[in-house]
């Protein structure tokens, strides 16, 4: 991964001498992939079909795209997502854009990879609601048009498996990256890509301490071994008005997975890429606006009170992290003319 060192200037209308340096990194043009699941066009095409297909949810109404909408910021802009039978989850859906750059998946890091993550929502009773993964896969197997896609992606030796379906979805998700944001162009040398206020916000973002967690090319922490996860306590400072106002102590985070006392209120550090598009904010979707999220984070994580000017500058900089989205069209899903796989019908 190429690292780009950008020296920021202190901007007050016109730039003056460089005031601080930080190792800013542009987003790579290709996501990392595991050795046991190299990305191929055939896997990506199959994964795209499965990602958009709601038929292997219990009610036939919920697909991956329902909560991680690729026509938006990769989430659904709701505090909590709605699954089968109108059930609501307990955490805000994170964006799927650039999820391939995370070292673990889900807010609590319970999935070590995109492959593992792809299996979770299918059998979650609040999300897609299937009783087990094989029953969900039976629906896919029952649709004749899917078999050729599996054969092309994985060969002819019993390719229609749960693991292969998850590998295909993960391969597709590894294409969901958004490079070439104004920020990326700036750190690659185009000094006109960010205006003076955006550069000032970039400097403030680092000076305040935001980069202590939101570092690296995806602004989600340092590069780590896949499955390790980068977690931080949230909130770190509890004695302030925001903790109660936004109910930040209710969810115990990673503790719900490990049951270890040390993991209470630990959460995966989310990417800030395209963060301007993913309101509401935090794991519980409790904060509606980006400027308020910046204020809250400064106080509960760094114990700092930001001025209105600092908040505005940081928000303007965060807007410059919105990248270029790949061209995408909705797929034509394999059909079942005259019958349906939903429910008890064969």
Structure confidence by residue, pLDDT tens digits, 273-326: 999 999 999 999 999 999 999 999 999 999 999 999 999 999 999 999 999 999
User: Within a 10 A sphere around the Cβ of 145, how many other Cβ atoms?
Assistant: 12
CATH number at residue 267: 1.10.760.10
Shared domain check, 265 and 151: no
State pLDDT tens for residues 114-172. Answer: 999 999 999 999 999 999 999 999 999 999 999 999 999 999 999 999 999 999 999 99
For residues 72-92, average pLDDT: 95
State pLDDT tens for residues 6-65. Answer: 333 333 332 333 334 789 999 999 999 999 999 999 999 999 999 999 999 999 999 999
Shared domain check, 209 and 287: yes
**pLDDT confidence of residue 1:** 37
Shared domain check, 137 and 62: yes
Q: Are 168 and 46 in contact (CB under 8 A)?
A: yes
The verdict on whether 256 is a catalytic residue reads no
Is pTM beyond 0.75? Reply is yes
Shared domain check, 156 and 113: yes
**pLDDT confidence of residue 193:** 98
Shared domain check, 204 and 261: yes
Has residue 327 been placed in a domain?
no
| 270 pLDDT more than 90 | yes
Domain that holds residue 251: 6-28+177-319
Give percent helix, percent strand, percent coil of the chain, each to the nearest 5: 35, 10, 55
**pLDDT confidence of residue 224:** 80
Residue 104: name the closest of 323, 285, 273, 271 by CA: 271
Q: pLDDT category, 226, cuts 50, 70, 90?
A: low
Q: pLDDT category, 223, cuts 50, 70, 90?
A: confident
**pLDDT confidence of residue 217:** 97
Domain boundary among 154, 173, 192: 173
Has residue 339 been placed in a domain?
no
Has residue 337 been placed in a domain?
no
Task: Choose the catalytic residue: 115, 127, 173, 292.
Answer: 127
Asked, as a colleague might, if the bond just before 252 is cis with ω within 30 of 0, I would say: no
DSSP secondary structure letter of residue 178: -
Contacts of 323 (CB under 8 A, 6+ apart): 27, 177, 178, 179, 180, 181, 184, 273, 274
**pLDDT confidence of residue 344:** 56
| 91 pLDDT more than 50 | yes
Q: For the chain, how many structural domains are there in total?
A: 2
DSSP secondary structure letter of residue 101: G
């Amino acid at each position: 991964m190429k690292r780009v060192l950008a020296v920021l200037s202190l901007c007050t209308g016109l730039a003056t001498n460089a005031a601080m340096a930080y190792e800013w990194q542009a987003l790579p043009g290709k996501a990392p992939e595991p050795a046991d699941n190299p990305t191929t066009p055939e896997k990506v095409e199959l994964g795209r079909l499965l990602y958009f297909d709601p038929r292997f949810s219990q009610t036939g109404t919920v697909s991956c795209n329902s909560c991680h909408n690729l026509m938006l910021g990769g989430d659904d802009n709701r505090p909590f997502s709605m699954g089968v039978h109108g059930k609501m989850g307990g955490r805000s859906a994170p964006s799927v854009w650039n999820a391939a750059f995370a070292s673990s998946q889900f807010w609590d890091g319970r999935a070590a990879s995109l492959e593992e993550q792809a299996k979770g929502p299918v059998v979650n009773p609040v999300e897609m609601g299937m009783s087990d993964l094989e029953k969900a896969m039976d629906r896919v197997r029952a649709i004749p048009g899917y078999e050729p896609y599996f054969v092309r992606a994985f060969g002819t030796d019993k390719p229609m498996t749960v693991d292969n379906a998850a590998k295909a979805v993960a391969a597709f998700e590894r294409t969901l990256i958004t490079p070439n944001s104004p920020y990326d162009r700036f750190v690659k040398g185009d000094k006109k890509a960010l205006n003076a206020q955006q550069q000032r916000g970039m400097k403030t973002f680092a000076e305040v301490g935001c980069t202590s967690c939101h570092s690296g090319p995806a602004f989600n922490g340092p590069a780590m071994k896949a499955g390790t996860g980068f977690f931080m306590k949230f909130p770190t400072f509890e004695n302030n008005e925001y903790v109660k106002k936004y109910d930040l102590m209710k969810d115990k985070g990673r503790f719900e997975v490990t049951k270890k006392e040390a993991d209470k209120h630990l959460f995966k550090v989310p990417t800030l890429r395209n963060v301007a598009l993913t309101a509401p904010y935090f794991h519980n979707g409790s904060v509606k606006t980006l400027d308020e999220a910046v204020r809250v984070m400064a106080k509960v994580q760094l114990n700092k009170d930001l001025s209105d000017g600092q908040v505005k500058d940081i928000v303007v900089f965060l807007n410059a992290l919105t990248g270029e989205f790949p061209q995408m069209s909705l797929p034509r899903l394999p059909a079942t003319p005259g019958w349906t796989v939903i429910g008890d019908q064969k």
